[in-house]
């Protein structure tokens, strides 16, 4: 594990900063823009500006990280409706990165009182004000999300933002995403930056409908998922797109065999190995054939 002193802010193309995780070998955000990613891959596809008209919104932030997704959400919601009460739960493996973001003043790019509230949240793991009830659960998200499910929490919006599936498959499995779906309100939405066929197949296995979100800083789109109202959401949002023929065919290849973690405690290597065995035994089309058909290098 890194400590806060080992986190050095790295500038991204939109002027905001991110960190590099030595544990996962990746930065927390795309180099195209950390703040842009929070707003365009999460806040907008989750339709938070529209949902802010409600008196109460419930948010679930899976992999809180530096706090950008939550900061962007609070700013968007309260800009539309300053009286909206937000009930928030965040899941984070280790508090070191959130604390480093505070110590480097990375949240100061959002308006008051958001930096102050999130500073208090990271320090005490809970907040209770007139407009914000928040609880940050520290530990393996596979375990803490079960606590969320038992509480009956039903999120209007879920930020699904772990490190990439090959480096952190534990939080992209059918079993974990089924728990996330159980925490989702019938009209709620889950958003993620990933368009991995394995991730999309897992979301479908969890009983969700999926759509693409507009690409941000790269050619690949993100994904949004919901239980019942996704076609209507697509029709009413410029940020959501129905799956293309290319994307639908991708879901019929071996790439779409999802990660599995039956008992929610396997290590990354075990989960990856299990998927590779299933792929090798599969009668689905090899992904290389799909890539050749669509001229994907």
**pLDDT, tens digit, for every residue of 59-77?**
999 999 999 999 999 999 9
Average pLDDT over residues 9-15: 86
* Residue 4 in this model has a pLDDT that exceeds 60: no
pLDDT for 180 beyond 90 = yes
Question: CA-to-CA distance for 139 and 36, rounded, in angstroms?
Answer: 27
What is the structure's pLDDT at 26?
76
Specify the long-range contacts of residues 2-5, CB closer than 8 Å, at least 24 apart: 2/96, 2/97, 3/96, 4/96, 4/99, 4/100, 4/103
- What is the pLDDT, as a whole number, of residue 30? 76
Alpha-carbon span 269 to 147, nearest angstrom: 26
Please say if the pLDDT value at position 2 is more than 80.
no
Report the range of poorest mean pLDDT among 80-94, 200-214, 231-245, 281-295. Answer: 231-245
pLDDT at residue 15, as a whole number:
84
**Topology (CATH) of 4-293:** Rossmann fold (3.40.50)
Model confidence at 22: pLDDT above 90: no
Q: Residue 5: which pLDDT band, with cuts at 50, 70 and 90?
A: low
What percent of the chain has a predicted confidence (pLDDT) above 70?
95
Q: Taking residues 234-263, what's their average pLDDT?
A: 89
**Could you tell me the pLDDT band of residue 17, with boundaries at 50, 70 and 90?**
confident
**What's the confidence (pLDDT) of residue 19?**
81
Summarize the confidence of residues 195-215 as an average pLDDT: 94
Asked if 221 and 71 touch (Cβ cutoff 8 Å), the reply is: no
Decide if pLDDT at 1 tops 60: no
Cβ distance 175 to 141 under 8 Å?
A: no
Exposed, middle or buried by CB within 10 Å (0-12, 13-18, 19+), for 1? exposed
Query: Strand pairing of 184-192 and 209-213?
Result: unpaired
Lowest mean pLDDT segment, chosen from 50-54, 229-233, 237-241: 229-233
pTM of the predicted model as reported, rounded to 2 decimal places:
0.94
pLDDT tier for residue 270 given thresholds of 50, 70 and 90: very high
Mean pLDDT of 178-191: 97
Q: Please tell me what DSSP assigns to residue 39.
A: I
């Amino acid at each position: 594990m890194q400590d806060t002193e080992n986190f050095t802010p790295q500038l991204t193309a939109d002027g905001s900063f991110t960190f590099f995780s030595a544990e996962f070998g990746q930065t927390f955000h795309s180099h195209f823009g950390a703040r842009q990613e929070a707003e365009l891959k999460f806040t907008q596809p989750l339709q938070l500006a529209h949902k802010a008209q409600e008196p109460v919104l419930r948010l679930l932030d899976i992999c809180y990280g530096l706090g950008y997704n939550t900061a962007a959400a609070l700013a968007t919601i309260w800009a539309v409706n300053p009286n909206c009460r937000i009930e928030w739960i965040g899941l984070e493996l280790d508090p070191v990165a959130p604390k480093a973001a505070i110590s480097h003043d990375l949240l100061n790019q959002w308006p008051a009182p958001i930096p102050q509230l999130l500073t208090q949240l990271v320090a005490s793991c809970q907040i209770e004000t007139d407009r914000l009830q928040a609880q940050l659960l520290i530990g393996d998200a596979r375990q803490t999300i079960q606590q969320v499910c038992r509480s009956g929490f039903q999120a209007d919006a879920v930020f699904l933002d772990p490190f990439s599936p090959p480096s952190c498959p534990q939080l992209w499995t059918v079993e974990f995403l089924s728990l996330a779906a159980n925490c989702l309100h019938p009209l709620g939405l889950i958003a993620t930056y990933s368009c991995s066929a394995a991730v999309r197949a897992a979301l479908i296995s969890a009983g969700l409908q999926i759509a693409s979100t507009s690409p941000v800083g790269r050619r690949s789109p993100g994904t949004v998922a919901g239980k019942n109202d996704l076609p209507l959401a697509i029709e009413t949002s410029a940020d959501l797109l129905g799956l293309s023929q290319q994307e639908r065919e991708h879901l019929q290849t071996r790439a779409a065999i999802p990660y599995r973690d039956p008992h929610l405690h396997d290590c990354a290597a075990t989960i990856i190995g299990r998927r590779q065995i299933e792929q090798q035994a599969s009668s689905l089309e090899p992904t290389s054939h799909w890539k050749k058909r669509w001229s994907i290098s």
